[in-house]
Amino acid sequence: MVAQLPAIITVLAVVLVISLGIRVSLLRGKYKIDPPAMTGNPVLETAIRIHANTVEAMVVFLPMLWLGAMLYSETIAFYLGIGWLVGRVAYAVGFTMSPAKRIPGFAIAILSGLGLVIITIMGLAM
């Protein structure tokens, strides 16, 4: 049977990345900045950075989510995954307001990801 709790988090993380990508596309249209340009408007540049950073973070997050769920606890991995998602949303909202306001969301996501690494290591050690 497929582990449903990490699957739920995985789908939500993918929806978040798709949503951030759609926002980039909409802002490109609004400010008339065609690809491959990545600069030209600070609002667009911020949206691109938020999207790219989230995609980069998922490269570590998703394997640790699944490994932590399989090797240690699906439930704990699920709650740490929720923490990561909340952190990434807070990061996006905060960064949109001001670069300095991205830090609390970033910290929440990093700590949640670190928790996933720890439970994975614990699961391997058991």
pLDDT confidence bin for 125, thresholds 50/70/90 = very high
Cβ atoms 71, 120 nearer than 8 A: yes
pLDDT in tens, 63-76: 999 999 999 999 99
- In the numeric block, the tokens 């993918």 are attached to 14
Amino acid, res. 85: L
> What does the pLDDT read at residue 73?
97
What is the spatial distance between Cα 64 and Cα 91, in angstroms, rounded to a whole number?
A: 20
Domains of the chain: 4-125 (1.20.120.550)
pLDDT confidence bin for 3, thresholds 50/70/90 = confident
- In the numeric block, the tokens 């240690």 are attached to 72
- Stretch 81-85: mean pLDDT: 98
- Stretch 11-26: mean pLDDT: 98
Whole-number mean pLDDT of the chain? 96
> What does the pLDDT read at residue 2?
58
Amino acid, res. 28: R
